A and B are shown apart, each in its own frame.
Chain A
Amino acid sequence: MPARPCGPYRPSGTTARSTAIHRRALPLLLIPLSGCSGIQSALDPAGDEAAAIYTLFLVMVAGGALIWLAVVGLLLHAARRREAPWSEKTAGRLIAWGGVAFPVAVLLALLAYAVWLMPAIRPWLAHSAPAARPIEVTGEQFWWRIRYPAAEGMPAFETANELRLPVGARAVFALKAQDVIHSFWIPALGGKMDMIPGRTNTLSLLPTRAGVFRAPCAEFCGASHTLMAFSVVVMEPEDYAAWRRAQAGGNPATGSEGERLFAGHGCAGCHGIRGLTETASLGPDLTFFGQRQTVGAGTLANTAENVARFIRNPDKVKPGAKMPAFDMLPDGDIAAMADYLVGLK
C-alpha cells in the first residue's frame, strides 16, 4: 500500500508503510486520494465553511488544470515544424489576446469568485445573531482551554482539549492566546484563525455532519507545537444537551484510591475537576477526562497506560510541557491516578 499523506490520524505514533510504486501499478497512485478523507482533512468537509473552501479548491484546481493544458498545448503547437512562419501581425495578435486579454479576464474572474465567496467562508455577520454567545477558546503552550458560556438555563463551565458541538447549529468562538501566537483550525469545519495574545478574534462555524475531527495548532508555538491539537466531537443536539448537563454537574467524589492520591499529590493545585476540587486554572480542567479522545492535547490515545506515562514524565512525551514530572512517585500511585482519571466518564 502506498503511503497515505493525509490518511487517518494515529495518535500513538505508528507509521505508514511505504512501498515502491511499480510503473504498472500507476493507477494505485489514486489510492492516496482516498486517504484525503478522514478526521483532519479539508477535502472531506463536515461544515458549511469547509464546504465553501472545498468548492473554492476544486474550482482553482480545475482552472489551473485547464490553463496548464492550454499552455502545454500551445507549447507543442509552437514546437511543430511549419512551412511558413506566422506573420508578425498574427503573432502580435496572439500575444495581445493570449498573453494579455486572456490572463486578465481569467484572473479577474477567479479573484471575483474568491472575494464573492469570502462571506461564506467567514460569515462574520452571523456573530451578531442574538443566540450566538461565543465559546471562548484560549491557546496555551501546549493545550487548549475551552470555556462554554451559560446557555438555556445551564451554567457556564470550563473544559480542555476537546470541543463538543451540536450538529446544525452555528457556533461562535472567541479566540485568545495566553502566551504566544497559536492558531485555531478545524480543517473539517472551516478555515483557520490566529489566536493572538491580548486580542480576541472571532470565528463562526456551522457543523453539518456528526463525527469526530482533529484540529491541530496551525501556528508554530514552541517545542511541542506539533503535539498541540484538540478533538472536535460534533453530536446530535439531544446528545449534546445531555453532555452539557453532565459537564455542568461534574464528577462528584467517589472516595476511590486514585481520587485520594490526585488530591494528595497536589494535582488539584493546577487541575480542576468540577464536583471534586475547587477550580484551579494553571493546567487543563480534567472533569470527565475519561471521555476525551486523547491525553496531552492530541498527543497519545487516552488509555490508562498512556495517562500514566504522561503523568510520570510529561516532558518526555511532550517536550516543553508545563507540567512537572512525577517520576518520584511509586508506580502504583501513578497507575491508580491514571485509572481514576480514565474512569471519569
Chain B
Amino acid sequence: MTHDRADILIIGAGASGAAVAWRLSDAGLRIVCLEQGRWHKPGEYSTSFPDWEFRGATSFSFNPNVRALPEDYPVDDTASDVTPLMFNAVGGSTVHWTAHAPRFHPSDFRVRSQDGVADDWPLSYVDLEAYYDLNDQWMGCSGTAGDPANPPRAPRPMPSLPLGPDGERLARGFDSLGWHWWPSDSYINSVPYRGREACNNCGPNGLGCTVQAKASTDVTYWPAAIANGVELRTGARVFEVTTDSSGRATGARYFDAAGTVQSQPARLVVLAANGIGTPRLLLLSTSERHPNGLANSSGLVGRNLMFHPCAAITGFFDDGSDPTWRGPLGNILLSQEFYETDSTRGFVRGYTFQMNRSTGPARTALGFAMAPVAWGERHHADFAMRFGNSTTVIALGEDLPEEHNRVELSASLTDSNGIAAPKVSYRLSKNSARMMAHACRQAEKVLNAAGAHTVKATPQLRPSGWHLMGTARMGDDPRRSVVDHSGRAHDVDNLYVVDGSVFVTGASVNPTPTLQAIALRAADHIRKAQHP
C-alpha cells in the first residue's frame, strides 16, 4: 500500500525523532513518523510488578539481543569490546535511560584545534546553547546552576534531586581531596512538573518510570507533537529510504506489524533511528546513484562508531548509613576534575565521574557493575558486603573516532522481517585503556576518602554501549563527513540525520541533551528550507 505523500517523514520515535517532530509540528507541514516499536503504558513497566528484577534481566533488558522482542533487531556484537544497548519503542532508548543530562563543554567542539586529535565540529557550543535550554524545559531538568566546571547556564527548571546520605558521603570525599563535584543535571522531576509527578525515589530508573517522573519522549515531546497533528505510526519497520533517478530521497518502504510492505512517500526524510539504526538504514538503501549506501560517497557511513569507554569502580562501606539502593540509580552527582587533557597523565582528552547507586537484592547478586556474587561458602558474606552497602563511581571517558570501529550489515543475521541486522566491530583504543586505568586509580582515592573499607574496579564494563555516536558524522568537507552542520546529507539535499550518528567526537558526558539540541536545531533549518 502507498500512503499519501508527507511533507516530512521521520524515521524513529526516540529522543531525537520526538524532538524534531515537536519542533516542526506547528509549521503547517504534514509530518509522519515511522517507528518499529510500540507505545508502552507506564503501568506496564517492570517496577510495577513484584518480579521486576526478573523482568529487568529478561523481557525488559537493556540489551536487544536478550529481550529479542519482535520489534527488536538483533545486533551482531561478537567483534565488539562493548555490548550495544537500546530500546525500540515510542520514546526509544529514553524509556530505559537513566536521564542523566549533562552538556558538552565548549572545548568538546574544538578537539583538533585544542588537542590535535580527531576533528573539530562544524558548530559550536554557542550554536547549541539556546536549544539546550529549550530541551531542558521540555524534558524537565532538575539541577543547580553555578557549576564551576561548566559555562554559566540558566536557572534549572526544578531544584536538584537530593543527594541522599550515600551521595553526601561521596561529595564529602571529593571535597576532602579538593576535587570538583556537582549535583547532576537530571531529566527527572524533583517536584511535579508539567503534569508529571515528582520522583518517588523507587530506585532503578533504567527500567522505565511508572509515575512518569523520568522524562522519556513518549511523555514529553510526543503528546505535544501529536496534539499539533503529527502522525506517529507504530509497528512500522523501515527497510529502505527510497530515492529517484536523480538520487534525491522520495520516502521510505517499511513492513507493517502484519508483515506487509507499505510505502510512505515524502518530500523530505529525517533519520532518527540512533547511532546503529541510522547507518544500518543508510547501508540498506542502495541504488544506482548510491551503490555503497545512501549518502555514503565519503565511505564514512557506519564508521567512527563511539560508545564512551566506561569503568565501574565500587566502594564498600560499613558505617551503618542508609541503604544505597534508595533513590534514582544513576543521577546523583558528577565530577569533572579530570575532564580536559593534561599531558602528564599519559592520555589525551579526559573523563567524567558519575555516581551510581546499588540496586535490589537479585540484581545485586547478578553483579550489576561487577562479576556476580560468589556462589558456595563465600556467597552470603559477598552478598552482605554489596547489598545496600556499595556505591559505584562510573568513569565515562571520551572515545576518539577511529574508522575501524564501525557498523556494517551482517551477512548472516537478520531481524524478524528478514532484514540484514547490523554488525558492530569495536575495539577499545590504547588511549582509552590508559584513561580508564587512570580513572580507576583516582576513583579508588575518592571512595577511600569517602570511607570505603574496600574498593573493587572493573576497568572496562562490557555492557556499557548506552551511547551510540559518530556513524554519520557531520562536517564541512563532504569527503570527510556524511552530513553538514545542520544534519543535512552532503549527497542528498532532502535527507537529514538528527541522532547521535552525527557526532564528530563524543566528549565525556552522556550524549542525549546534545543530540536533542542538534535535532531541535536541525528542525529550524528544515523549517527555513521548507518556507524560505
A and B: interacting chains: no
